[in-house]
Amino acid sequence: MVYVFLKCIVNDKHINKVCDIYRIEDDMIAEHWDIIEHNVENKQSNNSNGLF
């Protein structure tokens, strides 16, 4: 499994958290999933780790 996390800024104001997940089989991508959390610029983390 490969996880790729991104911070995307949309229209110079909104921030999105993006995660792409890949399942690799026989050195090839067998499956792909993505997750997007929109407009996180005003959200607070539940712990001291931060959103990113």
Determine how many CB atoms are found less than 10 A away from the CB of residue 20: 14
User: What is the structure's pLDDT at 45?
Assistant: 87
Which residues, at least 6 apart from 18, have a Cβ–Cβ distance to it below 8 Å? 5, 6, 7, 8, 34, 35, 36, 37
User: Which tens digit of pLDDT belongs to each residue from 7-46?
Assistant: 999 888 899 999 999 999 999 999 999 999 999 988 888 9
User: What is the structure's pLDDT at 16?
Assistant: 94
User: What is the structure's pLDDT at 36?
Assistant: 94
